[in-house]
Amino acid sequence: MATTLTFRDPSAPATTINPAASGGFNTVGFYGPGFGLSVRVGEYNETTYRTTEDGQTNGGALPNLGYANVSGAFIGPSIIAEPLIDIANSQSTLLVRLNTDAAVATQNTRFRTFDKSNIDYAPSGVSVFAAEIIRDGAGVGSGDIFWTQIQGSGVVLSFDDQGIPATVHDFYIGITARPDSIGEKTNFAYYFETEFL
């Protein structure tokens, strides 16, 4: 079965983020008040961009979610926290799209962050929080109510099963990061996995 998995800008799904090690714009970068500006130690990202692996080239802004509290986020530049459950799909940080040439259902879908040296190790010097976002229209969403601090294979973000067979499955992820020590944090990556049948 022909299968593709792509990483996209939720607010502009035609904009993709290349797979790791492919070069070009293959990284989600977290910054302070603008591209290339640092996030203070102990604080959370204020902006998010599509960038290169070294974080030096601006590939365009992505929707930004900043950690506000265990169940809320600052959307973009807002200083008013919104409940995670009220965040729209298009306001999430990352869209992962699974395309298949035959209709499938998905299960056991997980997302983690890891130290690039070992997929099972949590990244060092940075804390990463994630949430599944599910709200494609008016009203209250059905995604995560609380952030999950994802840490290698120890703590992963689990997604709801998508039990209705389809050829396209979209997974919306809110992500925010906090440096815990000074210096660039380029030695962490994301890993997404799903089963389909």
Q: What three-state secondary structure class fits 146?
A: coil
* Domain residue extents for the chain: 3-196
CA–CA gap between residue 98 and residue 46 (Å, rounded): 29
Cβ atoms of residues 152 and 114 within 8 Å? yes
Query: What are the beta bridge partners of residue 61?
Result: 49
- What pLDDT score was predicted for residue 141? 85
Q: In which residue are the tokens 């902006």 written?
A: 47
Question: In a structure prediction context, what are the per-residue pLDDT tens digits for the chain, which is 197 residues long?
Answer: 889 999 999 999 999 999 877 889 999 999 999 999 999 999 999 999 999 988 999 999 999 999 999 999 999 999 999 999 999 999 999 999 999 999 999 999 999 999 988 999 999 999 999 999 999 877 778 999 999 999 999 999 999 999 999 999 999 999 999 999 999 998 889 999 999 99
Pick from 159, 144, 176, 67: nearest CA to 110 = 159
Q: In this structure, are residues 197 and 104 in contact, taking their beta carbons and an 8 Å threshold?
A: yes
Q: What's the CA gap between 52 and 157, in Å, rounded? A: 25
pLDDT, position 1: 83
Q: What is the per-residue pLDDT for 17?
A: 94
Q: What is the pLDDT of residue 112?
A: 96
Note whether 174 and 64 are within 8 A (CB): no
What is residue 1's three-state secondary structure?
coil
